[in-house]
Amino acid sequence: MKSVINSKKIMLIMITLLLFIPISVLLVWSFSRLWPSEALFPNKLGLRGWSYLLSPRSKVFSSLAVSLFISFVVTVLGLILSIPAGKALGQLNFPGKNIIEVLILAPIIIPTITIGMGIHIVFIKWGLADKILGVILVQLPLVLPYGVRIFASVFKALGEKWEEQAKTLKANVWQGFWYVVFPLIRPGIIGASILMFNVSFSQYFLTFLIGGGNVNTLPLLLFPFINGGDRVIASGIGLVFIIISLVFMFLLEKALGKGNDNSIGNFYYL
């Protein structure tokens, strides 16, 4: 028994280290001035990276705002579309269900370049290219597979019995969803939101292609620095990335994970 606990502890420490070593390298990089490749630690520390990033000319804040806006809208739209889609796939049987399941997954199977080029041409015709709306629309099919898959399994596990119970207790469809289904699928909403937000937040290629340089998101800002070899600034932006993702997760848990969650947690998940 004791050895089991010990091995669990060791696993936990190893996973933590695996996650934290890359982050700590970023942290050291962002505060260094000179770090020759043969040195184990930087020769000189400095604030060049951070002072550049925090100054207005770096455009970190404006592109952060654009990124947050796009990812937030994409996540909300993604939820609105994937909850009913997941419910249909998880609980109903209809002809062509398998084909639809594959089609929804397609954006993560087929290389984004293939989809991106075609969509780009259409979006130019429709006047959606080089616009934030176009970027939001093109990111949507990319995040949907995650949301739909999660909600399909959540609704499958949940079954229709809860809604039926709500119905016989005289709830209409919306009341049934709001008071019964929504609280029960909350863990799924948290999981799907985090995934969809992060997929959207770190999207480079499609934003670059459809945004055409007019829509400057954080990944677009980051890329030239990685490419140009300025690791100090790239590390700084990388840290901003991680912090935003963590803050988003934290806020989401705060907003949705409230209440007595262990009662739901131990009841249909796992």
Q: Which residues bind other proteins (CB under 8 A)?
A: 161-162, 164-172, 175, 179-180, 183-184, 259-260, 262-264, 266-267
3-state secondary structure of 185: coil
Question: Nearer Cβ to other proteins, position 133 or 264?
Answer: 264
As measured in angstroms, the least distance from the Cβ of 252 to other proteins is: 17
As measured in angstroms, the least distance from the Cβ of 261 to other proteins is: 8
As measured in angstroms, the least distance from the Cβ of 255 to other proteins is: 15
As measured in angstroms, the least distance from the Cβ of 127 to other proteins is: 45
CA neighbours closer than 13 Å in the CB half-sphere of residue 248: 24
Degrees, nearest 5: CA angle 34-237-205 = 125
Question: Nearer Cβ to other proteins, position 137 or 171?
Answer: 171
Cα separation of the two ends of the chain? 23
- Residue 44: phi, psi to the nearest 5? -135, 140
Question: Nearer Cβ to other proteins, position 50 or 162?
Answer: 162
Question: Nearer Cβ to other proteins, position 228 or 265?
Answer: 265
As measured in angstroms, the least distance from the Cβ of 258 to other proteins is: 10
Q: Which of 120, 115, 118, 145 is nearest to 130 (CA)?
A: 120
**Burial of 31 per CB tally in 10 Å (0-12, 13-18, 19+):** middle
As measured in angstroms, the least distance from the Cβ of 122 to other proteins is: 42
* CA distances in angstroms from 42 to 111, 186, 247, listed in the order given: 39, 45, 29
Do the beta carbons of residue 267 and residue 162 sit within 8 Å?
no
Distance CA 88, CA 105 (A): 15
Distance CA 240, CA 219 (A): 11
Question: Nearer Cβ to other proteins, position 31 or 162?
Answer: 162
Question: Nearer Cβ to other proteins, position 182 or 205?
Answer: 182
- Other CB atoms within a 10 A radius of the CB of residue 131 amount to 16
As measured in angstroms, the least distance from the Cβ of 151 to other proteins is: 18
Question: Nearer Cβ to other proteins, position 59 or 167?
Answer: 167
- Other CB atoms within a 10 A radius of the CB of residue 183 amount to 16
Q: For the chain, how many helices (H) and strands (E)?
A: 14, 2
